[in-house]
Amino acid sequence: MLKVGQELRIEVEGRSEGKTKIAAIQDGVVWIESPSETATLKTFFLHEEEALRVYFFKGEEQLFAFDTVVLKRLSDAQLTLRYAFKLPDEKKIKRVQRREYLRVPEMINVTVLAVDGQAFPTFETTSLDVSAGGMRIVANRAPIEVDDSLVVVFRIEDERGMPQTFRVKSRLVRIKPQTVKQELSLCFEDLAPRDQETILRYCFRAQLEARKRTGSVFSSR
């Protein structure tokens, strides 16, 4: 299923996510280049025995995923880091259903409100990525605690190019501190199936457009 030069998306739980390419495949072991973060494009390090989730495309629209562990970290003659992981049995490589598609890097204007309208002042921000199940936004600080809820309002275009506004109650699932601001990962709580489908189609179009434009299956717009 995998081949040299193929692009992969990797996720390190609670730490980083980004894209990389396969540098070599030898005896069931896959060697990849240093990954770069999806949002910042900065490279980040992996550690031996660290758990990964790996995503890749087969064909135009079939997305697959599997879990693995970093076996080795080596640098070549040019001091370029390479990482190795074992390719799992094909039975453990699962096709990702459309409703589970990866988040796409998208900067969307977002208004954030308190659920009761009073717990914190309303503020404007932008998303870092979005999916049919949630989004990641930036903020000066987290206005609520993890597992508490807030409301996000944002607008995207549907398949006809018509703007659609969404007002969605969302749960804060993770806070990632940055040098200046914080990244807040949100999970949509009460999104109607029809609205979820609209967002899903939007993400799917954004993913395909990025692929056509840059040749990368996981590029930002």
Average pLDDT of the residues in 113-118: 95
Q: Compare 73 and 200 and report the one with higher pLDDT.
A: 73
Which residue has tokens 């030898």? 26
Mean pLDDT of the residues in the chain? 86
**Degrees to nearest 5, angle at CA 154 with 151 and 157:** 150
pLDDT of residue 81 exceeding 50, the answer is: yes
**189 and 196 Cβ atoms separated by less than 8 Å:** no
Tokens (6 digits) for 32: 């990849």
Residue 113's CB is within 10 A of a number of other CB atoms, namely: 19
The answer to whether the beta carbons of residues 1 and 58 sit under 8 Å apart is yes
Tell me the CA distances in angstroms from 157 to 31, 48, 162, 163, 201, one per residue in order: 39, 43, 5, 4, 10
Written as six digits, the tokens of 179 are: 């040098």
pLDDT-above-70 percentage for the chain: 87
pLDDT digits (tens, 9 = 90+) for 121-175: 999 999 999 988 899 999 999 999 999 999 999 999 887 888 999 999 999 999 9
Region label for 63, one of left (φ > 0), alpha (ψ between -120 and 50) or beta (otherwise): beta
| pLDDT category of residue 211 using cuts at 50, 70 and 90 | low
Residue with tokens 């506004």: 165
Tracing tokens 């072991």 back to the chain, one arrives at: 29
Residue with tokens 């990368």: 216
pLDDT in tens, 56-65: 887 655 778 8
